[in-house]
Amino acid sequence: MQPLITGSGLWKPSCSISNDELVHSYNAWVTQNLNLFGDKPPFSNSEFIEKASGIKNRYVIEKAGILDPSRMRPVLECRPDEQISIQAEMAVEAAKDALCAANKLPTQIDAVIVSSSYTQRAYPAIAIEVQHALGIHGFAFDMQVACSSGTFGLHRAYEMIKAGTAKSVLVISPELTSPQVNFTDRDSHFIFGDVATAMIVECPEAITSPLHTFEIISVRAATQFSNNIRSNFGYTARASDTDPFAPEALFHQNGRKVFKEVCPMAADHLESHVKANGMEPSDIKRWWLHQANLNMNQLITRRLLGADADQQTAPIILDQFANTASAGSLVAFNLYHQDMQPGDLGMICSFGAGYSIGSLLLQKR
């Protein structure tokens, strides 16, 4: 009995920020703070951002605060405990789309996993809040593996189905990344965007919709410790008397080392996963890869296929969505799976902080 993906959902905020808007705000902040930089203020431009990353735009939960040179972070309301949290609200909207695609009622779901790079609070779990909001029975939990949270969450759903502990599992990645971005850092202020994705993983006898169903042939994961991508924000700042919002507590990375080390790691992982199933990379019709950096994806697919991949072979959604952390490969899947034909093979893969890599080999039913 192989688990299947039977529905997917995507929610994006109504607000978006172009590179030009972001650069205008950032450069205004630099001008206001020239005393911090000496003789070489780190001004930026849209051409630099696009060349470095392939990003042209990003969706954000709130726009005005990010573009305010006197603030440089989103303005989010502090909701009372009785009101649904922002992240759960994002998750619910994506989940509704996935339920609709799978022709599923909330009461037909056995478990909810919220797997994202950040959660808005420690507890109660965002997943349990989503479970309550949707009227789902069973159980729910949160999990975090940075940019591989989405694929690792799907792995857990796969294992539940294989073990028989659940028949239908809802996996959601509500990536509320913008509060953790340092919008005053030239090298990283443009990277992330906010989004939510959802997928339903089921056993064959639970399927209620035959459309766009994908069998999960196999899953594979790998982790290797690295300090090159970090976010140190945490509750122990109160006890260590450190600033919980200092630059080192927000997202930061050594981009050159990440590029040099993760690209071969991801390519080797993917090639090994494909060949372990008696296939070659050329047999894979579609590669839904993590969306962190255009140059990384191009290098990885070139190494796998021996040539540049087109938009249909390895879809790029960075230009519109930016890096959406663990949701990136799932956004790509959501937007580029409807044309797949029975028997077609595809690979979902994430890679990021940890280092962590997760992949799922799929076949269209």
Active site residues: 147
Are 3 and 159 spatial neighbours (Cβ–Cβ below 8 Å)?
no
Residue 221 structure tokens:
């994961």
Please tell me the distance from the alpha carbon of residue 87 to that of residue 9, in angstroms, as a whole number: 15
CB-CB contact of 295 with 323 (8 Å): no
DSSP 3-state of 316: coil
**Per-residue b/e over 248-271, b at no fewer than 16 CB within 10 Å?**
ebbbbbebeebbeebbebbbebbe
Closest CA to 130 of 162, 102, 98: 98
| 268 in Cβ contact with 220 (< 8 Å) | no
Query: 361: which strand partners?
Result: 218, 347
Nearest-angstrom CA–CA distance, 309 and 145? 28
Among 343, 94, 71, CA closest to 195: 94
- Measured between alpha carbons, how far is 264 from 258 in angstroms, rounded to an integer? 10
Report which secondary-structure segment, H or E, holds 184.
none
- Position 173, amino acid: S
> What number of residues does the chain have?
365
CB 190 within 8 A of CB 24: no
Give the residue among 104, 158, 163, 159 at the shortest CA–CA distance from 135: 104
